[in-house]
Amino acid sequence: MQKSFRAALATCCAVAAATLAHAQTDPTTEDFEKFRAVMEDANPAELWEVKGEQLWKTRRGPKNASLEQCDLGLGPGVVKGAYVQLPRYFADVGTVMDAERRIVHCMVTLQGFSFEEIAKRPFSSGNYTPDPVSIVTFVAAQSRDMKIAVPQSHPKERATWELGKAIFHYRAGPWDFSCATCHGEDGKRIRTQNLPNFTKHDQAPRSFIGWPGYRMTGGVMHSLQWRMNDCFRQQRFPEPGYASDTITALLTYMGVNSNGFVYKGPGIKR
Amino acid sequence: MADPMKIRASLQGDVADVRVLMAHPMETGQRKDASGNVVPQHFIQTITAQLNGKPVFGADISQAISRNPVFAFKVKGAKAGDKLSITWIDNKGDKRTDEVVVGGG
Amino acid sequence: MDRSRRIVLKGAGATGALAAALAAGLLRPGVAAAAWNKAAFDAKTTADAMKALGYAGAVESKDIQIRAPEIAENGAVVPIDITSNIPGTTSISVFIEKNPFPYTGTFDVSQGALPFVHLRAKIGESSPVRVVVTAGGKHFTAAKEVKVTIGGCGG
């Protein structure tokens, strides 16, 4: 079963590589868009917002603390508007962190959870949702309808953007793929899925504004950590470590490229 | 215990526009897990909605309703401040009831 | 026909005491497990399910609106809006004809709900979505075809 799944994926991505079709407004796409609005009006992602809020406010972990003193960049405990200004530089750690990475950092430092334990099973599957995914869904929801404004004032933030750009265009792996192979030109798609060109300002936000997302396939909640990781898996790259510099750099690249657009997530995905 | 529902009941004139999200796996009994074992059926069978304690909407459903079910319906004769509650019961006898105030954002 | 009467009819296997309790309105509609029509839900064809529900002979009607995608983006979650314009509508039932068990559910709108429902269903392969509306004890039907595509690997 695993084998046939991989075979299907291979076919799927080979199609993407070989026959990327023009994906402008055809009737199928329009129909999908029409019903996506219906889906967004009642998005099961809200169930994880509720769960994430509880996790944020509950005293938990070896230190029996809540996350209400977690500094997401706007001061301890400030959640409103924090998500659209992440990733950003944090002086207390001397590095740039994305939203989920910062939440995990708070879970470790404030609540005493073990990073290694969290990183063992960081992605949702079946009926399992890791706590950071629920929490980042709650945090992201507190930035809904706000403008994306990922900062670039600190030199490390600019360096992280440059690193993200380099990773995005870096071709390697058994298929000689890069992120840009699928997401660096206009009008590409994989079967019925239109692929945004993240190098263009008007298309860049199409991913960023919709994550974290409820994935209809499997009915699970996923964060951008998973989304980035899964792109590497699909490219047959070695997968980056959870909450690593690589992911933060890619998210900085995508976030900054999306600046000025209104954040619409948490979203609902195919 | 089952996770809470998310219910929205906005008021359009005297009609409560109700939308509900339920956290439930809705297992069909036809799916196999990673080790090849059939995942047993587990799905919501009945739903009832009450307005101020009086039944106003009900459903009997099958495992073909999507995972984490979403329903919308409209209740006549509602006013701001009315209490709308929804209960589901699944095939294992688990149940969950949640309540919202109509027009309460 | 109100819901409790429908339940009594549906719950033919219920014990006498339960049936009496239902008839007397002692149990809230839908809360009685016996109401869930196992024979209909277990039926492998729409015709058998409709027979088990007493819907055989339902008349085609243009007054039932089914709004669903022509092509579903994901068969695991197909949004379906149903509105009945038939006066006196008391219930709306849904059958996904090509699913292994077509009968998907009945929505009771007899006690103060408008004749409308939004649901999201799993559709295994391209299939007609058949709706039966009960109004004034009579049964009316309409159907809409939904095509299900093979998935992509993005998202």
What is A2-269's CATH number?
1.10.760.10
Q: Where are the domains of chain C?
A: 1-36, 44-148
Q: In degrees rounded to 5, what are phi and psi of residue C134?
A: -105, 130
Dihedral sign (CA A216, A222, A223, A226): negative
Q: Are A263 and A146 in contact (CB under 8 A)?
A: yes
What are A96's two structure tokens?
């740039």
* Model confidence pLDDT, tens digit, residues A138-170: 999 999 999 999 999 999 999 999 999 999 999
CB interface of A with C, residues 164-193, below 8 Å: 189-193
**pLDDT reported for residue C150:** 56
**CA geometry: angle A61, A67, A70, nearest 5 deg:** 130
Per-residue pLDDT of chain C (155 residues; tens, 9 = 90+): 444 444 433 433 444 444 444 444 444 444 333 479 999 999 999 999 999 999 999 999 999 999 999 988 889 999 999 999 999 999 999 999 999 999 999 999 999 999 999 999 999 999 999 999 999 999 999 999 999 875 434 33
**pLDDT reported for residue A251:** 97
Rounded average pLDDT over B27-42: 90
pLDDT class of B1 with cuts at 50, 70, 90: low
Contacts of C43 (CB under 8 A, 6+ apart): C49, C51, C52, C101, C102, C103
* Model confidence pLDDT, tens digit, residues A206-247: 889 999 999 998 999 999 999 999 999 988 988 899 999 999
- Residues shown for chain A: 270
Residue numbers of A annotated as active site: 231
**pLDDT reported for residue B105:** 59
ipTM of the complex: 0.96
Q: Where are the domains of chain A?
A: 2-269
A260 residue type, one letter: G
What are B89's two structure tokens?
């019961």
Which among B19, B64, B44, A29 is positioned nearest to C76, based on CA atoms? B64
A42 to B72: CB separation less than 8 angstroms, yes or no: yes
Nearest to C152 among A12, A35, A39 (CB): A12
**Residue of B21, B33, B73, B100 to mutate, interface with A, max A Cβ within 10 Å:** B21
Greater pLDDT, A84 or B31: A84
Q: Which CATH architecture has domain C44-148?
A: Sandwich (2.60)
Chain C positions touching A38 (Cβ under 8 A) are 79, 81, 118
Q: Where are the domains of chain B?
A: 6-28+38-101
Measured between CB atoms, does B99 come within 8 Å of chain A? no
How many whole angstroms separate alpha carbon A140 and alpha carbon A151? Answer: 17
Chain A to chain C, count of Cβ pairs less than 8 Å apart? 61
What is B6-28+38-101's CATH number?
2.60.40.10
- Chain A nearest C-alpha distance from B54 (Å): 25
DSSP annotation of A152 reads -
pLDDT class of A202 with cuts at 50, 70, 90: confident
* Model confidence pLDDT, tens digit, residues B58-95: 999 999 999 999 999 999 999 999 999 999 999 999 99
C77 to A191: CB separation less than 8 angstroms, yes or no: no
C125 residue type, one letter: E
B66 to C36: CB separation less than 8 angstroms, yes or no: no
Upper half-sphere CA count for residue A14 (Cβ side, 13 Å): 7
**Residue of C109, C125, C132, C148 to mutate, interface with B, max B Cβ within 10 Å:** C109
Distances (CA, A) of C87 to A204, C58, C101, C141: 50, 16, 30, 14
C28 to B60: CB separation less than 8 angstroms, yes or no: no
For tokens 């706007």, name the residue: A74
For tokens 């909450």, name the residue: A243
How many whole angstroms separate alpha carbon A179 and alpha carbon A202? Answer: 18
Sheet holding C116-121, edge to edge: B6-12, B15-21, B70-75, C116-121, C78-84, C64-67
**pLDDT reported for residue A163:** 98
**pLDDT reported for residue C151:** 43
Share of chain A above pLDDT 70, in %: 90
